[in-house]
Amino acid sequence: MSVSPQLVVHRDKELMAQAAAARLITKIVDAQAARGSASVVLTGGRNGNGLLAALGSSPARDAVDWSRLDLWWGDERFLPEGDPDRNYTQAREALLDSVPLDPARVHAMPASDGPYGIDADTAAEAYAVQLAKAAQPENHSEAPTFDVLLLGVGPDTHVASLFPELPAVRETERMVVGVHGAPKPPPTRISLTLPAIRSAREVWLLAAGEDKAQAVAIALSGAGEVQAPAAGAHGRSRTLWLLDSAAASQLPRGLYPPASP
């Protein structure tokens, strides 16, 4: 049984990024206070990177004990290490290089020039092994119970690299898969699957801009996850949609509270 999604609508994408960053800092600090460490799954794209940049410029960022934070990725473009289109490269530029993380706790997905060569499927299996090693018995999953898993929502309703109708979105057993023939470049990727996404305590879906409005409306209208992968992304205790007013513009007004000032 999935948790009913909650919606927060902000005036514009800048305010959305700042508010999401503040929310994430609070969540990390609370998790570290409760359990000693925190785990977050990052997402790429303009909204994911916008959140990281806002977090980096937040005066509250020093409240986080960066050395006790585990970072994972929801998906990755299967490109060489350091490629500017890799989510990991973009995350480093937006935030990671400017905070004192423990390198052993930064779990980047393999690159195409890494130990697995150009075999995305083997690279995905290796990442699944990392997840399984980090999982605790009480997680009841082959992945850790992440504190927050961030996802950007594509105009076609894709999340991570789970695209409508493609094999990866239909996966019910494996935690990580290689993706081939993605409809947006590059065609080869690595992605968490819906079972891995659903292992998170909280899943936050980010969408800003008019080009995301139809996808948001479809995903929140009861669409099936194979046709609309974002509809299948939910957390164990909370599913939060963080939107700007443009991305929320096709939703029924009664579905969400008034926009933040």
Q: What one-character-per-residue DSSP string does the chain give?
A: -PPPPEEEEESSHHHHHHHHHHHHHHHHHHHHHHHS-EEEEE--HHHHHHHHHHHHH-GGGGGS-GGGEEEEESEEE---TT-TTSHHHHHHHHTGGGS---GGGB-PPPPTTSTTTT-HHHHHHHHHHHHHHH--GGG-SSS---SEEEEE--TTS-BTTB-TTSHHHH-SS-SEEEE-S-SSSSS-EEEE-HHHHTTSSEEEEEE-SGGGHHHHHHHTTT--TTT-GGGG---SSEEEEEEETTTTTTS-GGGSPPPP-
For 116-137, what is the mean pLDDT? Answer: 94
Q: What is the pLDDT of residue 261?
A: 42
| Reported confidence tier of residue 4, pLDDT bands at 50, 70, 90 | confident
Mean pLDDT of the chain: 94
Evaluate if residue 257 carries a pLDDT over 80: no
Q: What is the pLDDT of residue 253?
A: 75
Residue-wise pLDDT for 158-173, tens only, equals: 999 999 999 999 999 9
Q: What is the pLDDT of residue 141?
A: 79
